Amino acid sequence: MKTVSCKHTGAFVSVAVAAALAVVTVAAFLVGSSSVSLGDLVAWASGGEVSDAAKSILVNVRLPRVLAALLSGAALSAAGAIIQAVLDNPLASPNIIGINSGAGLFVLLAASVFPGLVWLPPLAAFVGALATALIVFGISLGANTSRLTVVLAGIAITSVFGAGMNTILILNPDAYIGASTFLVGGLAGVLMKDILWPAAYIIAGLVFAFGAAGKLNIMALGDQTAHSLGMHVGRTRLAMLGLAAVLSGAAVSIAGLLGFVGLIIPHLVRFFVGHDNRFVLPLSATAGATFVVFCDMCSRVIFAPYEVPVGILMAFLGGPFFIYLILKNRKGGFDDRG
Amino acid sequence: MIAVDIQNVSFSYGKAPFIEGLSAEFSAGAITSIVGPNGCGKSTLVKLIDGMCRPDAGRVLIEGKPTLAMRGKERARKVAVLSQVSRPPAMTVESLVACGRYPYQSHEGRLGKEDREQVEAAMRMAGVERFRDCDLRRLSGGERQRAFIAMTLAQDTAIIVLDEPTTYLDIGACHETMQLVCRLNEEMGKTVIMVIHDLDLALRYSDEVMVMERGVSTYAGSVDEVLRSGAIERAFGVSICAVDADEGRSYSLFPA
């Protein structure tokens, strides 16, 4: 039900983003500390003869890494789009309302209390994200649910959980070993077995999210109008926030605390295709996947042979964009141009 | 025929009772205005009608069925409520009107043939067809209000509740909106219940008026009965002077 011109823009943007995703994904398989030729990749993908070295790199290093980047980027961006819509707040994201710091705190807790259990941290990230989502939701219900109260509550929770994380790191410095990549967000050394169950949650979460995108459009009309159209607003909001927590929790459990991807990508997408969430959600997921794969690839090459965790690179890109957004939003300019 | 029956309803936001033992009946097929000073409970009454607020005591019946006994979508097929919208959403007129079909959809977003027909008919009735592709934020206040009314029409309900439909509108758009409301009543047989601040508009365009003060209904009846009762004068501390002209009757208000 969009305008003709919007339909065309939407189609054009969809094709462009899908093409970018394909190109970046192929490039990400080839680029790295030891490069693989395009011929090897094609041969491997089509089941042909490849040297053992190239095959080993592709299967054990590149494939899990690209998949992890795709999944976490898609999940965090879709979660960001959902959270922005549900809280009716353009500045909200999994990061800014504390979901990531909740995951971070729980991971550090798990790593210091049960250092031996390697399967625990991803689960802890997951539970932490969900618990924080519930706290933020509770605060926004208890306060007047204005945009500002939710963001301030998120900042408060982030600072409390940040203090908790620092306390753990001081009392138990060993927890930092192995957690450093997690805390800044990075995909180095990701293994196939690490991403299997988060992948299941992310794929299921995305399917649910795309299916429920129409509900987000109804919520955009305001609580009272959504209610009078027959929506159970509180229940829907909790369900969507839970969905976003599942998505970002699963993403964080494989990629660590990736910064601004959940904030930037939905805004960029809305800038091109407008505010209809039936377009915004799938396109955010696709564009987010592209962005994280691209940043991860850059993180491998920019300072080669050193590798910068992808989260650092993304924060460098995301920080200035966030400032731009704040300045634009002051005049309502960014919001208006959607 | 009673479209909406409010039976001895009490409601409070905090500890102090806000609405106490309110009873009111809204006739089917009529335009009824609810008037009263600020904070008398008009908007709360709207929320009680559509179940947004749950009464502490008493009950609200929509076409004989308790509001709270209905599922959300079932209720939304009986009564459409247009609440005050402070910030227009970023969507086209056609997308907004299509939202009115939500109560009829099991899977949101996919419009069937009947849905599309209802959306077209609603836009035609409200005169917003030519704005269909416009962003709501680009429209004037009056055009936007007509688009929202089209959304409630797409809901295809017998009863429409409007919460201050003319607030923020210039005088031309006020009359335009009210004339549309009258057409909905006359041509489509809609029962209209509206909360309205402008007494002149309320008296001119309504069949019946309900006067509220401090959470209770002090008088309800036809426009002439209400004028004779002096209930509006008491509630607002004004005197009303009906002015007859060739163009019709208007009402001037003076501080008492």
For residue B95, pLDDT beyond 80: yes
Strand partners of residue B34: B195, B210
* Residues B132, B94 contacting (CB under 8 angstroms): yes
Q: Do A4 and B81 touch (CB under 8 A)?
A: no
Higher pLDDT residue, B232 or A150?
B232
**CA distance linking residue B240 with residue B220, whole number of Å:** 17
Whether A26 and chain B come into contact, CB under 8 Å, resolves to no
Joined together, the tokens standing for residue A173 give 């410095």
Whether A146 and chain B come into contact, CB under 8 Å, resolves to no
Q: Beta B19-27 vs B57-62: how paired, if at all? A: unpaired
Judge residue B154's burial from the number of C-beta atoms within 10 Å of its C-beta, 0-12 exposed, 13-18 middle, 19 or more buried. Answer: buried
pLDDT in tens, A282-300: 999 999 999 999 988 888 8
Query: How confident is residue A263, by pLDDT bands cut at 50, 70 and 90?
Result: confident
Q: What is the mean pLDDT of residues A44-58?
A: 82
Interface test mutation site (partner A, options B102, B106, B155, B163, max chain A beta carbons within 10 A): B102
Token pair 């959600």: residue: A281
**CA distance linking residue A66 with residue A162, whole number of Å:** 29
The dihedral over CA atoms of B164, B165, B169, B173, expressed in degrees to the nearest 10, equals -150
pLDDT in tens, B195-206: 999 999 999 999
State the pLDDT at residue A338. 34
Mean pLDDT check: name the lowest of A45-49, A124-128, A157-161, A291-295: A45-49
Query: How confident is residue A326, by pLDDT bands cut at 50, 70 and 90?
Result: low
pLDDT in tens, A180-202: 767 777 787 788 888 888 899 99
H or E element, residue A15: helix A4-30
Whether A332 and chain B come into contact, CB under 8 Å, resolves to no
Joined together, the tokens standing for residue B230 give 């002096």
**Which residues of chain B are within 8 Å of residue A228 when distances are taken between CB atoms?**
50, 52, 76, 79-83
Query: How confident is residue A336, by pLDDT bands cut at 50, 70 and 90?
Result: very low
Q: Do A214 and B51 touch (CB under 8 A)?
A: no
State the pLDDT at residue B77. 95
* CA neighbor of A83 nearest in space, from A299, A297, A286, A281: A281
pLDDT in tens, B18-49: 898 899 999 999 999 999 998 888 989 999 99
For residue A131, pLDDT beyond 70: yes
Q: What is the mean pLDDT of residues B110-121?
A: 90
Higher pLDDT residue, A308 or B136?
B136
State the pLDDT at residue B191. 96
Vertex A195 angle, CA A190 and A198, to 5°: 140
pLDDT in tens, A134-189: 887 778 777 655 556 767 788 888 889 989 988 988 998 887 766 676 777 778 77
DSSP character string of B152-189? HHHT--SEEEEESTTTT--HHHHHHHHHHHHHHHHHH-
**CA distance linking residue A19 with residue B32, whole number of Å:** 58
For chain B, what percent of residues have pLDDT higher than 70? Answer: 98
Query: How confident is residue A334, by pLDDT bands cut at 50, 70 and 90?
Result: very low
For residue B111, pLDDT beyond 60: yes
* Residues A185, A258 contacting (CB under 8 angstroms): yes
For residue A2, pLDDT beyond 50: no
**Which residues of chain A are within 8 Å of residue B93 when distances are taken between CB atoms?**
none
* CA neighbor of B190 nearest in space, from B5, B78, B46, B28: B28
State the pLDDT at residue B119. 94
- By three-state DSSP, how is residue B190 classified? coil
- Give the chain B residue whose CA is nearest to the CA of A212: B108
State the pLDDT at residue A203. 96
* Residues B160, B80 contacting (CB under 8 angstroms): yes
**CA distance linking residue B197 with residue B206, whole number of Å:** 13
Instruction: Quote the pTM value.
Output: 0.85
* Residues B90, B136 contacting (CB under 8 angstroms): yes
State the pLDDT at residue A146. 59
State the pLDDT at residue B27. 93
Torsional sign, CA A72, A73, A79, A84: positive
Query: How confident is residue A34, by pLDDT bands cut at 50, 70 and 90?
Result: confident
Higher pLDDT residue, A7 or A288?
A288
State the pLDDT at residue B109. 61
Alpha helices in chain B (DSSP H): 42-49, 72-76, 93-99, 113-126, 141-154, 171-188, 199-205, 223-229, 231-236
Q: What is the mean pLDDT of residues B72-99?
A: 89
Amino acid letter, residue A61: V
Whether A147 and chain B come into contact, CB under 8 Å, resolves to no
For residue A307, pLDDT beyond 90: no
Q: Do A217 and B103 touch (CB under 8 A)?
A: no
- Average pLDDT value for chain A: 82
- Average pLDDT value for chain B: 91
Mean pLDDT check: name the lowest of A10-14, B25-29, B160-164, B196-200: A10-14
Distance from CA of B248 to the nearest CA of A (A): 35
Q: Do B77 and A217 touch (CB under 8 A)?
A: no
Question: For the complex shown, is ipTM > 0.95?
Answer: no
Judge residue B72's burial from the number of C-beta atoms within 10 Å of its C-beta, 0-12 exposed, 13-18 middle, 19 or more buried. Answer: buried
* Residues B235, B36 contacting (CB under 8 angstroms): yes
Query: How confident is residue A280, by pLDDT bands cut at 50, 70 and 90?
Result: very high
Query: How confident is residue B66, by pLDDT bands cut at 50, 70 and 90?
Result: very high
For residue A77, pLDDT beyond 70: yes
